[in-house]
Amino acid sequence: MIQDAASAQAKLQYAISFTDLSAEAINILLVTQPIIVIKERDRYYCVAGIRTLQAARTRIKSAATVPATLIPNDQLDDSVLMELTLSDIYLKHFTQLMHRSQGKQLASLFRLLGEQTIRKLAPLHASKTAYSRAIGYSRQKLFYAQQNEPNATES
């Protein structure tokens, strides 16, 4: 069942590809969104932080160890493990989605972070055009519609 949940999450579409992220961005993800695993027999299974694991796999060589937190099997039964996995998938996406006005919010984030920071984290999205394309908004709609709004500044 956990593999089914992970497989379902892997099929979701995201605004950014992990290959677009820098190694520094992946390292930040490993700290801010840790990977939680259990061990059954001689294999490890990710029960939370699946997207972080997917990101790490794009940047970390296969022989390298990906940092993860191991939860001893005796602490969780199957139903709790499943709840943890499904909650991670649902809550991570639900709590990180933005409201309908996400275009304004995303443009504000771009201005707040600045092109230099975005270039460091996701080099292919550092320009306003590339950023707009990645999140599915027109550059005009994201950046120039806000020129008439109070406290809106163009970077």
Give the bridge partners for 40, in sequence order: 43
pTM, whole model, 2 decimals? 0.61
Cα 153 to Cα 148: distance, rounded to the nearest angstrom: 10
Residue 120: the pLDDT is: 85
Cα 6 to Cα 38: distance, rounded to the nearest angstrom: 14
pLDDT in tens, 4-22: 655 666 666 666 777 888 8
Residue 74: the pLDDT is: 75
Residue 153: the pLDDT is: 44
Q: pLDDT higher for 140 or 101?
A: 140
Residue 155 has pLDDT above 50, yes or no: no
Phi, psi of 39, deg, nearest 5: -120, 125
Residue 2: the pLDDT is: 58
Which whole number is the average pLDDT over 22-38?
88
pLDDT in tens, 102-132: 667 777 777 777 888 888 888 888 888 888 8
Tell me, what amino acid is at 152?
A
> Are the C-beta atoms of residues 10 and 46 closer than 8 Å to each other?
no
Residue 70 has pLDDT above 80, yes or no: yes
Cα 29 to Cα 33: distance, rounded to the nearest angstrom: 5
